[in-house]
Amino acid sequence: MAHSENLITTVSTKGQIILPKTIRQRREWEAGTRLIVEETPEGVLLKRLPAFAPTRPDDVFGMLPFGGEPKTLEEMEAGMLAKARRDGPEFADDI
């Protein structure tokens, strides 16, 4: 999403800047959006703070309790196919 428009803003006495409306709309940055400020050799980079911290499978594996016997791969595939058929034939071909 490279745009070559040159937009100018001013730093206030409190160190605040106003991001131009076109950029806020394009990025969907509403009031209250939290941004990461990163200093780079070219200038300052602003990135939206992720809604959730990054996780790895090991961080969340086993978080939901399951009280039954483990399912085989074949049983899981059969269950997904049955669900897809109930939801509509257009989904069954994807499985």
Overall size of the chain counted in residues:
95
Q: How far apart are CA 15 and CA 13, in angstroms?
A: 5
Does residue 28 carry a pLDDT above 70? Answer: yes
Three-state DSSP class for residue 25:
helix
CA dist 44 and 47 (Å) reads: 10
The reported pLDDT for the residue numbered 21 is 94
- Confidence tier at 66 by pLDDT (50, 70, 90): confident
pLDDT of residue 90: 61
Q: How far apart are CA 65 and CA 43, in angstroms?
A: 48
pLDDT at position 4: 60
